[in-house]
Amino acid sequence: MEAVLRRDGKGLMAYARTLTNHAQDAEDALQEALSRVLGRPLDGIANLRAYLYKAVRGSALNGLRARARRDRREQGAAAGPLCVFQEPASRREEVEALNRALSLLPAEQREVVVLKVWGGLSFAQIADVTGVQRDTAASRYRYALVSLKREMKEFFDDARG
Amino acid sequence: MREDDDRFEAYLRGFSAPAASADVLARARERRRIRVRQQRFVWALGLAAACVALSFVMLRPRPEVVPPPVVAVQPEQALPRNPASHHAMSLAYARGGAAALDAHLDRAERQLLPVDLREPL
């Protein structure tokens, strides 16, 4: 498990942050997912990476439901701007532009693009994790990529002046 | 176009989320230990509740069972009102055999009223 975390830790965190839009909740979702996975035999799992992403998704969505209840109790604390990526620190403005571009995507497209690019999952695995058809996942990815390209191009155009 | 997408993907992979805290796995293990302990506690609680309920049922004083009173009835008193009933015919046969049964059926036949089947019921 340590090796898996070394390899996929940042991707899992990116996915958890994408879903929760909250650093602490993302860490919490990852811990919860790992604690559930640790209790199960991993021998029969065909793809551990996809399985972990699916576990993180379940924990993150549970956490979101709990947070929604908590926020309702505390009279709706609004979520802050999306902050999935923080590195490389040397290109802070570019990182912020990417976070902003991601935040402009519909949630389902955002999820797919993070799983594909930073999770390294195939469309079949993404379909399994998110519970949609493979073609739907592929289509969402294409739309997301087009939007991200456009937003990042605008950022560079503005930066060039 | 495809190459363009691949290049853009590679560019995107240059960005990364902050790593999870170093002790994320240790915390996950601790969380699991706590959950297992909680589950055991809930099971034990359920089992104890079931045992208490069962012992309560087992140790409850049982109501005294009163046997139904035995009523000695003379055969003449027990004779049913319907002479064609199975009971009445059995009784007649027990008293006097086939001859008594024939006589009983004759009496029963006389008590029956003729029914005109052409009339609506």
Confidence (pLDDT) at A40: 79
Side chain identity at B77, as an amino acid letter? Answer: Q
Mean pLDDT by 10 residues, chain B (121 residues): 83 86 86 91 95 89 76 56 76 88 84 64 53
Tell me whether A138 touches chain B (CB under 8 Å): no
Confidence (pLDDT) at A15: 92
The Cα A125–Cα A137 span in angstroms is: 10
Pairs of residues, one from chain A and one from chain B, whose beta carbons lie less than 8 Å apart = 82
Tokens 């605008």 found at: A154
Of A10, A33, A39, the CB nearest to B19: A10
Confidence (pLDDT) at A79: 59
Confidence (pLDDT) at A150: 93
CB-based contact A9 B8, cutoff 8 Å: no
**Alpha-carbon distance B67 to nearest alpha carbon in chain A (angstroms):** 60
Confidence (pLDDT) at A57: 93
Give me B30's structure tokens.
């601790």
The Cα A156–Cα A148 span in angstroms is: 12
What DSSP character marks residue B112? S
Tokens 């399985």 found at: A51
- Asked whether residue A27 carries a pLDDT value surpassing 80, the answer given is yes
**Average confidence (pLDDT) over A83-90:** 84
Side chain identity at A79, as an amino acid letter? Answer: A
CB-based contact A35 B36, cutoff 8 Å: no
Give me A1's structure tokens.
């498990």
**Residues 65 to 94 of A: which have CB under 8 A from any B CB?**
84-88, 94
Residue A126 — pLDDT band, cuts 50, 70, 90?
very high
The Cα B29–Cα A27 span in angstroms is: 14
Between A72 and A107, whose confidence is greater?
A: A107
Cβ proximity of A98 and A83 under 8 Å: no
Tell me whether A39 touches chain B (CB under 8 Å): yes
Residue A68 — pLDDT band, cuts 50, 70, 90?
confident
- Asked whether residue A2 carries a pLDDT value surpassing 80, the answer given is no
Average pLDDT along chain A: 87
Confidence (pLDDT) at B43: 95
What DSSP character marks residue B114? P
CB-based contact B17 A30, cutoff 8 Å: no
**Alpha-carbon distance B23 to nearest alpha carbon in chain A (angstroms):** 10
Residue A152 — pLDDT band, cuts 50, 70, 90?
very high
Question: Which among B5, B12, B40 is the top mutation candidate for probing chain A, defined by the most A β-carbons within 10 Å of its own β-carbon?
Answer: B12
**pLDDT cut 70: percent of chain A above it:** 94
Helix intervals (H) in chain A: 2-20, 23-38, 48-73, 92-104, 107-113, 123-130, 134-160
Global confidence as pTM: 0.66
Shortest CA distance from B23: residue in chain A: A31
Shortest CA distance from B27: residue in chain A: A31
- Asked whether residue A47 carries a pLDDT value surpassing 90, the answer given is no
CB-based contact A98 B19, cutoff 8 Å: no
**Alpha-carbon distance B21 to nearest alpha carbon in chain A (angstroms):** 8
The Cα B13–Cα A32 span in angstroms is: 26
Confidence (pLDDT) at A21: 85
A89-120 pLDDT, tens digit per residue, is 888 899 999 999 999 999 999 999 999 999 98
